[in-house]
Structure 1
Amino acid sequence: DGNSLITTGRRYQVTIQDANSGKEQRRVGVHMGAKANDVAISPNEFWIATGSENGSFHISPLQTDELKRAVCDRLSRKRLKKSECQEYLGSQECLPPVCN
């Protein structure tokens, strides 16, 4: 949109900031266990595509607030256990919880 700055390489995520103020607008978790090196935004600004240092790629929607609310309302537990992150995500670390 010409008003945002996107940075990569920070702990499994990309950060979108206001280009004028530098204020963080959002973070998007993209790769477990690898830093994102490359990023592209779709022309309609609905999708973000990232490539990581291990050669994997990830495509995520940018407009997720409504979906997030619906999922979080249905969860009985808001955070994965470390053993679940290892088993299901193949990572020694878990991402910060998405739901409050």
Structure 2
Amino acid sequence: MRFALAKALVWNPKLLVLDELLKAITEVSKQVTDSEDIETVEILSEDANSLVKKATDDPKSSKVKTYLKRLEETATSLGKIATPILTIAKGISTLL
């Protein structure tokens, strides 16, 4: 997925924030220990990868907004630990 993101950055540097989202999810995944939270982070990761793919293909797509909303809802369920993910997801909403 990082290849798709790198390719997209050539034409849209605003998508750098998507890389930050993936990094934030990776950091949160290192901090969770509860099996339910681990599953939640896996869902976040899948949704983020789908978001990156869709945003690089068609940034104005309604699916991008759907993925962002799901990311925000899922991250909220993790609580304070997911604050960086929420912040970045909200930032993406304003950029795309």
Q: TM-score, normalised by structure 1?
A: 0.29
Higher helix share: 2
Q: Larger Rg: 1 or 2? A: 1
